[in-house]
């Protein structure tokens, strides 16, 4: 059974104050752009590909990888620590959002997204590397930093 997205679009546009609602709206809008009607099952399938990491304190012995190959990854009010590297991002057609009182720390780097601060995107990511560098990247063209997310993500090598 097809559904008309016009009322949903109007409601989500009015809720623009909510950053999470805006991110979900952007994700769904990009998935269904140019289509006036969509089957309910299609919308449900897209919403099923959603992971929320909210209010979490996570610590790893070496590396934390949070990657959305499809759907939407949301990290907020959370604190991540791994001594070697932290990799957060989303592949082509997926989205991620990190922030709203979240921090991500390694032994040599830190990202603090306080208040309503956000790092978010599609086909993009951020990495805190073992060499002490922080990289924000977009795209996965040959030779780009985004390639480490494809397949089996690995931390940057130690020099």
**Mean pLDDT, range 62-85, rounded to an integer:** 92
β-strand pairing of 72-76 with 85-99? parallel
Rg value, the chain, Cα: 17
Band (pLDDT 50/70/90 cuts) for residue 16 is: very low
Residue whose C-alpha is closest to residue 72's, from 118, 121, 119, 114: 121
**Mean pLDDT, range 35-58, rounded to an integer:** 75
- Decide which of 37 and 157 is more confident: 37
- 138 pLDDT higher than 80: yes
pLDDT digits (tens, 9 = 90+) for 75-125: 999 999 999 999 999 888 788 999 999 999 999 999 999 998 999 988 899
For residues 96 and 120, give the distance between their C-alpha atoms in angstroms, rounded to a whole number: 5
Residue 146, number of CB atoms within 10 A of its CB: 21
CB 97 within 8 A of CB 120: yes
CB 94 within 8 A of CB 71: yes
Number of H helices, E strands in the chain: 3, 12
pLDDT of 23: 58
Q: What percent of the chain has pLDDT over 90?
A: 40
Q: What is the model's pTM?
A: 0.64
Going from the C-alpha of 117 to that of each of 1, 85, 114, 154, the distances in angstroms are 39, 22, 6, 27
């Amino acid at each position: 059974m097809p559904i008309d997205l016009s009322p949903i679009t109007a409601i989500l546009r009015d809720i623009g104050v909510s950053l999470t609602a805006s991110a979900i709206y952007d994700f769904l809008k990009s998935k269904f752009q140019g289509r006036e009607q969509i089957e309910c099952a299609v919308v449900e399938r897209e919403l099923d590909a959603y992971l929320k990491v909210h209010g979490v304190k996570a610590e790893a012995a070496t590396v934390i990888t949070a990657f959305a190959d499809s759907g939407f990854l949301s990290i907020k009010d959370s604190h991540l620590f791994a001594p070697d590297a932290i990799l957060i991002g989303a592949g082509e057609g997926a989205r991620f959002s990190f922030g709203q009182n979240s921090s991500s720390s390694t032994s040599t780097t830190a990202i603090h997204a306080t208040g309503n601060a956000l790092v978010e995107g599609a086909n993009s990511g951020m990495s805190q590397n073992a060499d002490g560098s922080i990289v924000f990247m977009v795209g996965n063209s040959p030779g780009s930093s985004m390639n480490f997310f494809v397949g089996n993500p690995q931390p940057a090598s130690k020099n």
